[in-house]
Amino acid sequence: MITAQAVKELRERTGAGMMDCKKALTETNGDMEKAVEVLREKGLAAAAKKAGRVAAEGIVATYVSEDMKKGAMVEVNCETDFVAANEEFIAFANKIAEMAANTSATTVEELSAEKYNDEKTVQEVLTELIAKIGENMTVRRFNKFSVENGVVQSYIHGGGRIGVMVELACDASAPVLATVAKDVCMQVAAANPLFLSQAEVDQKALETEKEIYRAQALNEGKPEKIVDKMVMGRIQKYFKEVCLLDQAWVKDGDKSISKYLQEISKEVGSPVTIVKYARFERGEGIEKKEENFAEEVAKMGVK
């Protein structure tokens, strides 16, 4: 009889999927070493079967060059948090982040076609990893950053659950810029701004917000003559919630990010500005399927 402990041991040794491990053990009458060989021999044939499965777990990985002038952030997905902690999976994601920073590719398809090493492309290596580990995996997205005068900085939160990258511009070269950029990264991770500044706010969305606030004020029975002032007050509050530069700094609620940058600009003797930022949260927008490990084992008939 194939035990759950044997399946677990084989999975830990090979990184293959649980069902694949059970089948391999059944095929080899429980011989662990032969089961390992069977899983290796299956190779690429196993990967194609995984392609249609939902990959909503995984990690966000970042790479920043030593001179902090360029970097990239990627999201690489898998099916379970178990595999997201796999060393080979993490190494693959980190390598893709470095490749993305140094490539001319602008799409995942272009990046996937590039050489991962001297022999294989990114897609070929990914396919082999899928076969070995036993879960569907995808390189979902990436974002590249580069700056001539200033720094690129990144921050990873929750072991790869959230990743942030910021591009800071400044004509002066000052060590404090790396710290400032890290502060901004942490701000973005915590407060999740939708826009950099008020100028970037979608005007159609803004008009919709105004209409909502106006209706709310009128429904509260406020006089018409003060409704417009109330609406503008609420819009300013809205800006402080969704615009990075208007947000209260998480390290000092008495000053905004804009005020913080102004203070640093005086300190270094040159304007410090945020050129752009990106925030990736693992699996956001992907419909996840809830799995019950105990139920899955029971369905397999493993005791």
- More confident call, 39 vs 139: 139
Q: What is the pLDDT of residue 45?
A: 38
Averaged pLDDT of the chain: 88
pLDDT band, very low/low/confident/very high, at 106 (cuts 50, 70, 90): very high
Q: What is the pLDDT of residue 276?
A: 97
Whether the per-residue pLDDT at 301 is higher than 70: the answer is no
Q: How many CA atoms lie within 13 A of 237 on its CB side?
A: 9
Is the distance from CB of 130 to CB of 137 less than 8 angstroms?
A: yes
- The CATH number for 4-51, chosen from 1.10.630.10, 1.10.8.10, 3.40.50.1370, 3.40.50.300, is 1.10.8.10
Instruction: Supply the pTM of this predicted model.
Output: 0.75
Q: What is the pLDDT of residue 44?
A: 35
- Tell me the domain boundaries of the chain: 4-51, 53-146, 202-239
Q: Could you read off the pLDDT of 14-58 as tens digits, one per residue? A: 666 677 788 889 999 999 888 877 776 665 335 544 555 667 899
Q: Could you read off the pLDDT of 150-196 as tens digits, one per residue? A: 999 999 999 999 999 999 999 999 999 999 999 999 999 999 999 99
Q: Could you read off the pLDDT of 225-244 as tens digits, one per residue? A: 898 889 999 899 999 999 99
Q: What are the CA-CA distances from residue 243 to residues 98, 185, 248, 285, 287 (Å)? A: 29, 14, 10, 21, 27
Q: Could you read off the pLDDT of 284-296 as tens digits, one per residue? A: 988 665 555 556 5
Q: Please give the structure tokens belonging to residue 235.
A: 């819009």
Whose tokens are 């898998």? That residue is 78
Q: Can you name the CATH fold of 202-239?
A: GTP Cyclohydrolase I; Chain A, domain 1 (1.10.286)
Is the distance from CB of 300 to CB of 17 less than 8 angstroms?
A: no
Report the percent of the chain where pLDDT is more than 90.
63
Q: Could you read off the pLDDT of 2-18 as tens digits, one per residue? A: 888 888 887 766 666 67
**Average pLDDT over every residue of 247-271:** 97
Q: What is the pLDDT of residue 158?
A: 93
Mention the CATH class of domain 53-146. alpha beta
Whose tokens are 């040159």? That residue is 270
